[in-house]
Amino acid sequence: MATRKPSTPKTSTELKQQLAQAKERLAELEKRAYAEEINELISATNMVADFAAIQKRVSDIDATVILATLGAAVGIKRLEVKQLETPKRKPADPNQPKKTRTKAAK
């Protein structure tokens, strides 16, 4: 009969890693929880119109630069705004026949 290995207490580094992961999950949960409320508050203000006016006035500058500058003006430290490239689709294999949709039987 096999016996279980006794459990050992977690080390300080393991606990710190677990705490960092929990903080990341909490930040994501807060972002999702307040998303609707924040959207309502933003739509009730003139932020969108002000941003459009700034973008129209300085059309040479990218929108991410304007957002980063606004974040700095508000006082958000270490804010990084970046725009990701659109994901590329995998090209179709010319050796495989095209898949066609079939109507479902009723």
pLDDT of 19-68, one tens digit each?
999 999 999 999 888 888 888 888 888 888 888 999 999 988 888 888 88
Identify the residue whose tokens are 């606990």. 15
Two tokens, residue 21: 């992961």
pLDDT of 43-54, one tens digit each?
888 888 888 999
Parse the chain into domains and list their residue ranges: 17-74
Q: Are the C-beta atoms of 66 and 83 separated by less than 8 Å?
A: no
